[in-house]
């Protein structure tokens, strides 16, 4: 009698990683639409860092606390529409981002966000699926 090894999971992205990537796309679209005047892809937004008014097509979902911190990655207070120049080429202009974020949500909430980045967070597949549905619905409501 021989021993048959259990089947191995095929190489590639795990279900959790695939769901995280999908939520990243949906959440980013929600944040950009939320911050765009008229909540449409034809509208304009004000960059949270530089304050310039730009069309939706030039919007990124800028994170004050970096995306590597899962405890704040999908926190709506941590994410605001940011122009691509600031987000991608000027490392988010964190000092300007913070100053404008304090004006938007208040010093107390910014300090809470900064403290939250030290928390650990593990998001289950079920939680990803529910958040995806939630933000897809919010996008439809615009």
Residue 74 lies in a domain: yes
Q: How many structural domains comprise the chain?
A: 1
142 found inside a domain: no
Q: Is residue 18 part of a domain?
A: no
In a domain, residue 27? The reply is no
Residue 17 belongs to a domain: no
In a domain, residue 14? The reply is no
Q: Which two tokens stand for residue 4?
A: 């048959």
Closest among 62, 57, 44 to 100, alpha carbons compared: 62
Residue 58, domain member (yes or no):
yes
Calpha distance 91→10 (Å, rounded): 36
Q: Which domain holds residue 88?
A: 33-135
In a domain, 43, yes or no: yes
Distance between CA atoms of 87 and 81, rounded to whole angstroms?
9
| CA atoms of 50 and 133, how far apart (whole Å) | 32
What pLDDT digit, counting tens, does each position of 78-120 carry?
A: 999 999 999 999 988 999 999 999 999 999 999 999 999 989 9
pLDDT (tens digit, 9 = 90+) per residue, 13-41? Answer: 688 899 999 999 999 999 999 999 999 99
- Adjacent-strand bridge partners of 53: 46
Token pair listed for 92: 């988010």
Q: Cα–Cα distance between 99 and 106 in angstroms, integer?
A: 10
């Amino acid at each position: 009698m021989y021993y048959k090894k259990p089947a191995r999971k095929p190489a590639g992205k795990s279900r959790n990683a695939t769901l995280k990537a999908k939520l990243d796309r949906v959440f980013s679209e929600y944040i950009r639409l939320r911050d765009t005047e008229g909540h449409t892809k034809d509208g304009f937004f004000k960059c949270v860092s530089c304050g310039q008014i730009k069309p939706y097509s030039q919007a990124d979902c800028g994170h004050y606390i970096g995306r590597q911190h899962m405890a704040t990655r999908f926190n709506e207070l941590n994410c605001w529409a940011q122009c691509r120049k600031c987000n991608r080429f000027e490392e988010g202009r964190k000092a300007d981002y913070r100053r404008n974020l304090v004006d938007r949500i208040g010093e107390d909430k910014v300090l809470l966000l900064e403290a939250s980045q030290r928390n650990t967070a593990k998001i289950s597949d079920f939680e990803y699926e529910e958040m995806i549905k939630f933000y897809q619905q919010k996008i439809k409501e615009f």
